[in-house]
């Protein structure tokens, strides 16, 4: 059994953008691949390719005998793809220097001239057919002080390490000959006091367009709300770089997600003078728009077209969310509803990759934050990467977009203007921050005047948003605070109330709050290894613990909310320790995104989820009889703690607080039972055994074969009972085969000096308190990537990742032949299920196994019924008797065996779920092989064969009086069925096959309930992607079935989040149709979904596999009576 997951959220957006680009003369070409890299030298010109010796700027296009020269031979340079952070690749280097310490002890900066200059070169060709086009090279972010040349011609220097730059290169292009882009990156000077990376760490693009075109960042859209009237206002700036006047027509229109026009398109004719720009204003009234919100981040598409004499000259589209933001002294209001800002500060930094985060990693991190309850993100302390804002737009996260430095000189005002123009169309951006802790000026007249200049500039560029300034000041109304619209506090939480009393009309936000320092999984202070307890105990002198600030902010309306420092640990700024500490302790998650205990404090009070979390772990073998401080974070009304069944007392939960017990340690089970508004919650930690197996949990197992997509794979070890060992420190080695590569490893240890980038190819990482992580990236070639993780003395862990070719999704194709009509198309009610897949039973009985309870012989099916089961699932294979098939020569799970089993199930008064595999043997996400009899069929014939076979099976079952109550067309089909035709890479064909099977079932009996079954129990984004695409292609189903195995599908929290979201999105019933472990917990989640949509579970092969309820000899065990409890609690209830 194999489970697969994937963050597919970007695929449709990327495909739509691709489609738009292909229908427009404008092209935006990703330029990340195939660069050359070499270190220069900040102190030795000869080692810097003669940069400081040659007459580089004396003659245009010159620079002989330097790396700038197009003829320079770079064949010995390292080949790589962007984004690239060279700092993360370097070993740690101790130096007793504040700046070196603050940047994570990486040898980058003025003290390290040999590793602080980096040269990049890229060769490319341009067709003569494009000689009438204009070309622009665009860099999203380079750290820092980047000088750029093309074909020896100097283009410019960008001092900023955070806001990008773009240069027109039209005049310098060679057609049908080699072109060379050269970038010299100088990271000898820092900008911040935290890890910043080094190199071209964001994307590079080659933009191609006509002489008459939309200017760079030339579209600005915003929404006006006047009573019941909603109007989208658009300002479009057009540029004419021809030498003559251009008469053109501008057309602007708004589309919903399905491509349907929203409002009436607007057209305007304009005469553009030669080499001029002009801005036109349009407005599109929208009736009852679908608004963007945190819970439903709905994005429209705004399209601007430029035509001349009917010819399309340019076309750009932007994702646009219609929403209303109001900032008032008593709250932030989104679409008229008050929200408290549950915010985090974050630097762009992640384990393994440093500052060069792949796009999909941004979505991974934002999803983790949202699960904690976060609704706002501050881009501390610099312009964010555009893909971060895309993730926040898509997932529903507000963003405070921050300028790097408060300075009104031309350099920094230019940076600010580029930032605002670039980001002002993002729905997620709700406020600008003009700076952070400018201690030299923020109470001076200089600071006040500079702030006024920024505020005036912002009114020109974006009159729709307000701004703030993050001040580490108490009750001080001087300088910047006199003029800034929104007052922000960094720390100083006890001064907020006094400041508000004196300035009641000025909104107040806590921009940096709650800087608890802690180390994940550590429970004592260790000054040698530089660790701190993983509880809300310690904070620096200038800051506060979580409970201190949040208790003040939570109940006061004049606190609009706050941003904790920080969401994740980050490299650099180790506090309170220094070496060997190389990263911060501030995060509520470590650098990998593994939650610390503080995560659950905020989740308790920032969400309406049922939270009950116990810490620490319960592996204290050398502390028997010694007192252990136990913390419980919860939003329950009260909590009672038990050790090995003995009550340790009940405590009432104080709002915005936590609970503590002192417990004398003894091995076993520490359990909490809580009640929240009458609802029972449970949680436990147990003493585990020693590790026996490595477990890999990939965040997604389907990736785009685009050379960019990545999957985060988390690593743990478990004991013989499948329990995660929380204090393990095994060394794990990783191996990968196929079209993929590992791009980084980590474990969240703030004092680990292991390499994040194993440049020698021997990828490995030691577990830190039971966890590690690595990141896999695919190539541009579709493949199945096989991954293994090994540790000395343990069973290996493995997983597969399938990569699929990105496809343009402009429309969908539905085969009307198998379209449901009339009664067959109606939804059917789904009853409760407490089921068991016992397809192995005939084979077990054929082997002579006899079942018994307490020595009394029993029929297995009757026994299950007596213990509350009401459903049996049977899988069916097409021709399992083939020699190479399942159970060779025996044919178990064929139609004959299935019919016999169906009679026994119905005779026992139980319901039947039939699971078609459409294979001669097992089908799951890793193998969906076509039956031998269907090989060589054309696609139309294949659909008919599937229809005929399905109808035959259902008809024969009906004829013998055993019509299935529920049917699933395919087993764990998130990677498709009947490969290769039905692979997930071809969504249209996959849907047509599902429709053919469904039509066959309904032709026999329209009342049969249909299930859509995917193996994505904890993988919400991939579940949503798959279901959305099947619904768009007309696939009929009544109930969503999910497989859940912790080994592959994540935590119970992941499962609960996914199922709740599916219910909210689709208002359909949900069943966990495969599971084995955590019986009580899985059933509790599955049955207690909102609005009665949780219909239950079906355990996989409980007679002899995994956590079976009968042992291998057929004797019942202690797990069988668990189902008496479950049936009593949930069946025939109103839950």
Query: Between vectors from CA 84 to CA 78 and to CA 90, what angle results, nearest 5°?
Result: 75
Within 13 Å of residue 814, how many CA atoms lie on the same side as its CB?
A: 13
Distance CA 304, CA 289 (A): 19
488 and 470 in contact (C-beta within 8 Å)?
yes
86 and 1 in contact (C-beta within 8 Å)?
no
Strands 646-652 and 638-643: antiparallel
Tokens of 834: 């407490």
Catalytic residue among 27, 114, 437, 788: 437
SS3 call for 420: helix
Catalytic residue among 196, 402, 438, 512: 512
The residues that bridge with 307 in the sheet, in sequence order, are 249, 312
Task: Give yes or no: 295 in active site.
Answer: no
797 and 695 in contact (C-beta within 8 Å)?
yes
Within 13 Å of residue 217, how many CA atoms lie on the same side as its CB?
A: 18
566 and 343 in contact (C-beta within 8 Å)?
no
- State CA 330 to chain mean position distance: 33
669 and 563 in contact (C-beta within 8 Å)?
no
Instruction: Centre a 10 Å sphere on the Cβ of residue 679 and count the other Cβ atoms it contains.
Output: 11
Distance CA 270, CA 85 (A): 45
Distance CA 358, CA 376 (A): 21
Task: Give yes or no: 686 in active site.
Answer: no
Tokens of 770: 């039971």
Which CA distances in Å does 431 have to 324, 349, 424, 427, 450? Answer: 12, 23, 10, 11, 18
Distance CA 253, CA 1117 (A): 66
Distance CA 82, CA 35 (A): 8
Distance CA 413, CA 403 (A): 10
Distance CA 301, CA 319 (A): 5
270 and 304 in contact (C-beta within 8 Å)?
no
In the DSSP assignment, the letter for residue 1089 is: -
Q: Where do runs of H (alpha helix) occur along 818-894?
A: 841-846, 860-866
What interhelical angle do 359-372 and 597-606 show, nearest 10? 70
975 and 928 in contact (C-beta within 8 Å)?
yes
Tokens of 1007: 């009342």
Distance CA 689, CA 686 (A): 10
Instruction: Provide φ and ψ at 912, rounded to 5°.
Output: -125, 125
Rg (CA), the chain: 31
Active site residues: 437, 512
């Amino acid at each position: 059994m194999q489970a697969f997951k994937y963050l597919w959220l970007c695929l449709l957006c990327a495909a739509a953008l691709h489609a738009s680009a292909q229908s427009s003369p404008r092209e935006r070409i990703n330029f990340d691949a195939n660069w050359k890299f070499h270190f220069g030298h900040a102190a030795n010109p000869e080692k810097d390719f003669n940069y400081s010796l040659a007459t580089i700027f004396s003659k245009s296009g010159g620079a002989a005998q330097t790396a700038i020269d197009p003829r320079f031979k770079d064949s010995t340079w390292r080949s790589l793809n962007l984004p690239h952070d060279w700092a993360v690749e370097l070993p740690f280097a101790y130096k007793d220097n504040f700046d070196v310490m603050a940047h994570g002890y990486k040898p980058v900066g003025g003290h390290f001239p040999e590793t602080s200059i980096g040269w990049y070169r890229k060769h490319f060709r341009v067709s003569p057919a494009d000689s009438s086009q204009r070309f622009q090279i665009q860099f999203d972010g380079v750290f820092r002080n980047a000088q750029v040349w093309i074909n020896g011609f100097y283009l410019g220097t960008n001092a900023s390490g955070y806001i990008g730059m773009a240069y027109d290169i039209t005049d310098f292009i060679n057609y049908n000959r080699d072109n060379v882009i050269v970038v010299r990156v100088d990271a000898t000077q820092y900008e911040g006091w935290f890890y910043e990376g080094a190199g071209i760490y964001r994307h590079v693009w080659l933009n191609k367009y006509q002489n008459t075109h939309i200017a760079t960042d030339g579209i600005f859209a915003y929404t006006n709300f006047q009573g019941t009237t909603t109007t989208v206002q658009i300002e479009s700036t057009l540029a004419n770089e021809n030498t003559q006047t251009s008469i053109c027509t501008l057309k602007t229109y708004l589309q919903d997600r399905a491509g349907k026009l929203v409002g009436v398109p607007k057209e305007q004719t304009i005469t553009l003078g030669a080499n001029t720009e002009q801005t036109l204003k349009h407005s599109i009234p929208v009736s009852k728009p679908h608004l963007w919100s945190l819970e439903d981040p709905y994005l429209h598409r705004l399209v601007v077209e430029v035509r001349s004499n009917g010819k399309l000259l340019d076309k750009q589209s932007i994702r646009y969310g219609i929403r209303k933001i109001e900032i008032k002294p008593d709250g932030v209001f989104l679409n008229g509803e008050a929200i408290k800002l549950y915010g985090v500060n974050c630097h762009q930094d992640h384990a393994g990759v440093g500052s060069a985060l792949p796009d999909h990693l941004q979505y991974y991190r934002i999803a983790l934050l949202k699960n904690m309850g976060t609704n706002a993100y501050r881009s501390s302390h610099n312009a964010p990467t555009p893909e971060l804002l895309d993730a926040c737009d898509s997932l529903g996260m507000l963003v405070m977009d921050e300028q790097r430095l408060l300075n009104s000189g031309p350099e920094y005002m230019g940076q600010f203007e580029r930032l605002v123009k670039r980001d002002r169309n993002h729905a997620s951006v709700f406020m600008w921050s003009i700076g952070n802790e400018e201690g030299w000026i923020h109470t001076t007249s200089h600071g006040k005047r500079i702030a006024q200049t920024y505020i005036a500039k912002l009114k020109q560029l974006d009159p729709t948003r307000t701004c703030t300034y993050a001040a580490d000041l108490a009750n001080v109304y001087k300088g910047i605070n006199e003029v800034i619209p929104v007052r922000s506090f960094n720390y100083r939480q006890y001064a907020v109330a006094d400041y508000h009393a004196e300035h009641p009309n000025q909104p107040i936000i806590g921009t940096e709050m709650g800087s608890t320092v802690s180390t994940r999984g550590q429970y004592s202070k260790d000054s040698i290894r530089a660790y701190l307890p993983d509880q809300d105990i310690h904070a620096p002198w200038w800051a506060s613990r979580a409970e201190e600030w949040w208790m003040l902010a939570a109940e006061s309306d004049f606190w609009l909310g706050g941003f904790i420092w920080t969401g994740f640990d980050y490299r650099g700024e180790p506090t309170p320790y220094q070496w060997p500490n190389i990263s911060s302790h501030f995060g509520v998650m470590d650098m990998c995104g593994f939650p610390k205990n503080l995560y659950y404090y905020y989740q308790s009070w920032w969400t309406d989820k049922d939270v009950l979390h116990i810490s620490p772990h319960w592996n204290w073998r050398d502390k028997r009889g010694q007192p252990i401080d136990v913390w419980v974070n919860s939003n329950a009304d009260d909590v009672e703690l038990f050790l090995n069944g003995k009550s340790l007392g009940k405590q009432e939960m104080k709002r915005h607080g936590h609970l503590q017990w002192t417990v004398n340690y003894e091995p076993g089970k520490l359990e909490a039972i809580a009640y929240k508004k009458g609802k029972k919650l449970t949680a436990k930690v147990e003493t585990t055994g020693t590790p026996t197996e490595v477990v890999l949990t990939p965040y997604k197992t389907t990736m785009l074969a685009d050379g960019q997509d990545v999957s985060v794979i988390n690593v743990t070890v478990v004991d013989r009972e499948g329990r995660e060992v929380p204090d393990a420190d095994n060394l794990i080695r990783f191996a990968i085969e196929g079209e993929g590569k590992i791009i980084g490893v980590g474990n969240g240890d703030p004092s680990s000096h292991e390499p994040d980038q194993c440049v020698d190819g021997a990828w490995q990482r030691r577990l830190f308190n039971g966890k590690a992580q690595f990141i896999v990236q695919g190539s541009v070639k579709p493949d199945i990537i096989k991954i293994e993780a090994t540790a000395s003395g343990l069973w290996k862990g493995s997983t597969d990742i399938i990569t699929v070719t990105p496809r343009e999704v402009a429309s969908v194709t539905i085969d009307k032949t198998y379209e449901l009509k009339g009664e067959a198309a109606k939804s059917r009610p789904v009853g409760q299920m407490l089921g068991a897949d016992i397809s192995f039973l005939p084979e077990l009985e054929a082997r002579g196994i006899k079942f018994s309870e307490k020595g009394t012989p029993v029929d297995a099916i009757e026994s299950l019924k007596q213990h509350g089961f009401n459903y049996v699932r049977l899988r069916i294979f097409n021709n399992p008797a083939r020699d190479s098939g399942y159970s060779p020569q025996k044919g178990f799970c064929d139609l004959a065996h299935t019919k016999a089993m169906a009679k026994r199930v119905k005779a026992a008064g139980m319901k039947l779920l039939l699971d078609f595999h459409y294979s001669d043997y097992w089908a799951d996400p890793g193998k969906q092989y076509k039956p031998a009899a269907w090989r060589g069929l054309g696609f139309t014939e294949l659909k008919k064969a599937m229809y005929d076979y399905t109808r035959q099976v259902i008809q024969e079952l009906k004829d013998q009086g055993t019509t299935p109550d529920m049917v699933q067309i395919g087993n764990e089909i998130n990677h498709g069925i009947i490969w290769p035709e039905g692979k997930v890479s071809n969504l249209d064909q996959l849907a047509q096959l599902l429709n053919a099977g469904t039509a066959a079932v309904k032709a026999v009996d329209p009342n049969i309930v249909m299930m859509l079954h995917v193996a994505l129990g904890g993988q919400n984004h991939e579940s949503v992607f798959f279901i959305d695409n099947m619904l768009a292609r007309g696939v009929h189903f009544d109930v969503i079935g999910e497989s859940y195995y912790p080994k592959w599908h994540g935590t119970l929290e992941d499962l609960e989040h996914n199922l709740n979201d599916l219910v909210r999105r689709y208002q359909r019933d949900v069943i966990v149709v495969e599971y084995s472990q955590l019986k009580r917990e899985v059933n509790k989640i599955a049955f207690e979904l909102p609005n009665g949509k949780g219909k239950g579970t079906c355990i996989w092969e409980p007679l002899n596999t995994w956590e079976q309820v009968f042992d291998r000899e057929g004797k019942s065990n202690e797990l069988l009576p668990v189902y008496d409890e479950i049936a009593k609690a949930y069946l025939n209830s109103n839950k």
